[in-house]
Structure 1
């Protein structure tokens, strides 16, 4: 794939706009049902904020830091380490690696809190959510500090040719993406046994499973990101003097994953908008449905009958 400055900037702008739209729709869904924002909403807003910052850094790196462009080298073919544009690239890459971990941790926590609200009456599932939240917190904190202290003393100039006291960052980045994928798969599969136990028609259960499995898109992005990083790690040996071009996917796949994760976290919350446009007003004023401990608000009205609360 040929990378360009314009491509990298366009991708970054797109992945600011798209998740912002879906978070706006999520807020509108809340407003339609006159319900206050909950913890999962605030966590999703936080993830969006980090995603916007990371994508803005990609725009800055492309416009001022040679991202997506071939690196300027000296007469000896070696990188010009004090090139101001290359220093911009190094600093923005360092910031994105740190901030994206926080953003991904927030969106994972948002999804888990959403799960807890739905199945709050089921004690084993509630404790499973708490356990997964602990894993997410540990993952976020561990890799935040791992990226921050890639070199000691702390510096964004983490490449070997600077002569800093640094660890080999490539295995660490690969482990971030691999463990991120494992956690995502675990979160994705958590509600499946709960839905399968419901005494609902097969079509209804498949619909619920489909709603929860929307996060599979994020897993697909994580797999692509991991495969891309493995390829970059193998090729970088031969292109160490053209880092701004050959490591471009490190930026945009990170921001794509964060944006799609925010979108996936919002999709199950948008039912009130569908109801608003597709149901008579009186059909939403009365309902005998709920979802776990949630009352019939905008999230889950009409999805699971009251008679099935004991089944989950």
Structure 2
């Protein structure tokens, strides 16, 4: 999509020698380390957290749910996304175009095609994982129905975004990276406008992330918990706000890139396109981390002393024994959501322990 000259007197290869770069006063700095370092660190952290989650649930609790399967798929797709970014960095993403050349620019765009698809799918499965957790924990049927609606909406949106990007040039995806005139391709109907697609999907994505990642706060507010635990849970799930903040920043840079394409501005595309990949990486991995942190309690309970990660309170156990109720098993482990339910027969209140 990016062709043409981006520096004065550029040779056919598009790569300028050091003397020409110095004579024209062109910059030679690189943003590539920002991408590779952040992608490597976030990928490692997200993978470890998912492994800790699976150890706690599959090995310790011996309970694995659909939310765990979703986060596994999201993590695998995120690893693919990270690999794609490293491959793009190898060809010069983050460097100035006059140091990269036309052939490498085409390779970067070629990797940009699966990068968009992996980003969409990984984010979609992360949202599904969180929503499936919320459906299980919803204290009322009304909330459960609301979360099922959000799950259906998120699934439909993910599918629509996937198909829109996969078929951006219909049955000729190679036009995404080989097109000589993207504007003409859009005008003749050969491709969908990249800018319009990014704007529409980006706005819906931000709205969906905003609703989904703030939904747990409703459950935390409606259940009975010690104040310290409730504040901690508020902080953990509010941290998910970084997901939609990252989506906003990514949309801004995607719009900048779309403007460059629509106006055939080909000045330094490899340098200017890096923020899109950077923020896509941040958003994807933060989503995986945030939907997994609340499920780490079984692992942390095994790893750390009981004084640091307390188990179920003796008060709750004695309350159940007093009412001749068997103490509810810890279903899935992280934070115990304790909701008071009226006991019409005993005239007292009893606690129900539901784990994430």
- TM-score tier (shorter): 0.7 to 0.9
Q: What is the CA RMSD across the aligned residues, in angstroms?
A: 3.2
CA distance in 1, matches of 2:217, 2:39: 33
Aligned match for 1:116, one of 135, 156, 159: 135
2:118 counterpart of 1:99: yes
Cα 1:303–1:245 change in 2 (3 A) is same
Alignment correspondent of 2:324: none
Alignment correspondent of 1:134: 152
CA distance in 2, matches of 1:282, 1:16: 26
Q: Cα offset for 1:112?
A: 0.2
Alignment correspondent of 1:304: 338
CA distance in 1, matches of 2:221, 2:283: 28
Alignment correspondent of 2:282: 256
Q: Residues 143-222 of structure 1: matches in 2 within 5 Å?
A: 143-158=161-176, 161-162=180-181, 164=185, 165-200=190-225, 202-222=227-247
Secondary structure of 2:96's counterpart equals: coil
CA distance in 2, matches of 1:281, 1:230: 47
Give deviations 1:1-34, integer Å, cap 9, x for gaps: 9643344333332232121111112123225633
CA distance in 2, matches of 1:286, 1:225: 44
Kindly indicate whether the alpha-carbon contact (under 8 Å) linking 1:215 and 1:261 is maintained by their aligned counterparts in 2.
yes
Aligned match for 1:273, one of 294, 299, 304: 299
Larger radius of gyration: 2
Alignment correspondent of 1:43: 70
Secondary structure of 2:171's counterpart equals: coil
Q: Cα offset for 1:144?
A: 0.7
Secondary structure of 2:191's counterpart equals: coil
Q: Cα offset for 1:204?
A: 4.5
Q: Cα offset for 1:167?
A: 2.1
Secondary structure of 1:304's counterpart equals: strand
CA distance in 2, matches of 1:283, 1:222: 36
| Range with bigger deviation, 232-241 or 168-177 | 232-241
Q: Which has the higher contact order (CA 8 A, sep 6+)?
A: 1
Q: Cα offset for 1:86?
A: 2.5
Kindly indicate whether the alpha-carbon contact (under 8 Å) linking 1:73 and 1:241 is maintained by their aligned counterparts in 2.
no
Cα 1:129–1:86 change in 2 (3 A) is same
CA distance in 1, matches of 2:217, 2:65: 23
Cα 1:303–1:5 change in 2 (3 A) is same
Aligned match for 1:69, one of 72, 95, 99: 95
Higher strand share: 2
Which consecutive unaligned segments of at least 5 residues does structure 2 have? 1-26, 321-327, 341-349
Aligned match for 1:19, one of 46, 49, 52: 46
With structure 2 as the length reference, what TM-score do the two structures score? 0.73
Q: Cα offset for 1:154?
A: 2.4
Cα 1:280–1:203 change in 2 (3 A) is closer
Q: Cα offset for 1:304?
A: 1.6
CA distance in 2, matches of 1:153, 1:275: 52
With structure 1 as the length reference, what TM-score do the two structures score? 0.83
Which consecutive unaligned segments of at least 5 residues does structure 1 have? none
| Range with bigger deviation, 210-219 or 139-148 | 210-219
Cα 1:51–1:204 change in 2 (3 A) is closer
**Alignment length (residue pairs):** 298
Cα 1:54–1:301 change in 2 (3 A) is closer
CA distance in 2, matches of 1:268, 1:202: 17
